[in-house]
Amino acid sequence: MIFDLIKKRRAVFPAQYNDASIAKSDIEKILEAANWAPTHKKTEPWRFKVMVGDAKEKLGLFLSYKYMETEARPKQVKVKKLIENPKKAGAIIAICMQRDPQERIPDWEEVAAVAMAVQNMWLCCTEMGIGCYWSSPGLVKYMDEFFDLNTGEVCLGFFYMGHYDGEIDEQTRTPIGEKVVWME
């Protein structure tokens, strides 16, 4: 049931991933789920760049060098994490948004459509038993130096994915009644 799947969805981080690879067919299924997100005016603004193998390590090195270059006092712990996390992932998908060239809808609606595509990916991963999370470090603003981005395309973050062992902790939410105002 979809409600149970929604409640089961969790952020699973690279430190929790094991060494099992993710089949290309599974990644393709996850991306196909993304492609069915709602989109105003059918702009379909989501764009993805899939990194596996050596590309993950290259991403980690780029992020760590860019961090050291732009940070006045870079922390070695963060440098190490930027290098190591991509290597731990089974795959990383750069989450990008291609702005409608005619700007028929507000920018935030395009971002929302991409976020819904990512939610579809997340739910698909949950159903398939693949851990994942969306990372959006400040360094994404430099990704045009790493990727060939089209005019109007921006990187919004990275979708880390990996198989994991064991159970993921239960999650709680405050009651929805605390967040809703009924008006009659």
Q: Report the binding-site residues.
A: 40, 134-136
Binding-site members for FMN are: 40, 134-136
**Cβ within 8 Å of residue 66, ≥6 positions away:** 139, 142, 145
Would you say 106 and 112 are in contact if contact means Cβ atoms under 8 Å apart?
no
Would you say 14 and 82 are in contact if contact means Cβ atoms under 8 Å apart?
no
What is d(CA 17, CA 13) in angstroms, rounded to the nearest whole number? Answer: 7
Place of tokens 């603004």: 45
Tokens of 82: 């930027």
